Amino acid sequence: MGGMRVLVTGGAGFIGSHVVEALTALGHEAVVFDLLDGHDVRDAEAVAASLPGVDAVCHQAAMVGLGAGFTDAVEYVSRNDLGTAVLLTAMADAGIRRLVLAGSMVVYGEGRYACGTHGVVRPGPRSAADLDAGRFEPRCPLCGAELEPGLVGEDAPADPRNVYATTKLAQEHLAAAWARATGGSAVSLRYHNVYGPGMPRDTPYAGVAAFFCSALARGEAPRVFEDGAQRRDFVHVRDVAAANAAALGAEPREGALTTYNTGSGEPRTVGAMARALSDAYGGPEPVVTGEYRLGDVRHITADSSRLRTELGWRARVGFAEGMREFARARPGGGA
């Protein structure tokens, strides 16, 4: 693919900075637009001024965090959804027709579950009574039987469970409307649990890894919630950056939004991640607490085969290697 001039919103952030590196390495020109530089995507004049000569936009800027309560709802919606609408409007006016959006696995809510009797089912949020009793696994909503967790495909129904998740889904709907109205090509990469160098603590994806490392750096045992058997898909930030580059280099699908799960394809438990980080530090061993956060999902792991098949991408940083590197990059990390 020839070199493109790509505007990267949030280009100074955790994932955005890695996207800039990946694009630059491939011969593209990355133009950083970031709040750290005083550039807010809600500022229509600033956005418009950044677009001349741009071939595509990689939209990573967002207010992240757990978004568990409702007190920050206005700020989340303003930054993520109003900001996206301002950006897309400016792109439409400037004739820019290529967008790659930082999507999120949080749009799914819980993961995919199958009941031996009823097939694929969608369990509701877990109750405090069950969690207090140590019953962490969701049950079949029809018969109460144990469920088998599986991989979530892009066609799974959306079930955003907090304000942040709702704004990430609304961003996709805005991008789809923009694509239909302009004939543009939009890709949403639904990131799973992104981790790696430069990860802030408040990221909604793998922030627990940062908490574990902070505990280890203090000489304390990582505290693992529930029974540690909750499954996630931890994907390295360099692999996520490579997925963005692959999406920009793909043949555009005009007038449409295409969604891709962006995960490693190797589900791991939170307990296994805590052990990997503890081993990298040389201890202490993780402690499984049985504590929980109401509203947390039990299992959410991606089927990223569409991304591998259609864009030729694959995750290259293995779990053990990535966790060792991540531990070393944190203050007090061992070798």
Q: What is the set of active-site residues?
A: 164
Alpha-carbon Rg for the chain, nearest whole angstrom, is 20
Sign of CA dihedral 312, 265, 138, 172: negative
Contacts of 222 (CB under 8 A, 6+ apart): 211, 212, 215, 216, 274, 277, 278, 286, 287
DSSP labels, 23-34: HHHTT-EEEEE-
- Give the span between the Cα atoms of 284 and 153, in whole angstroms: 37
Burial class of residue 282 in the structure, from the number of CB atoms within 10 Å of its CB (0-12 exposed, 13-18 middle, 19+ buried): exposed
DSSP labels, 59-101: E-----S---SSTTHHHHIIIIIIHHHHHHHHHHHHT--EEEE
- Paired with 256 in beta bridges are 185
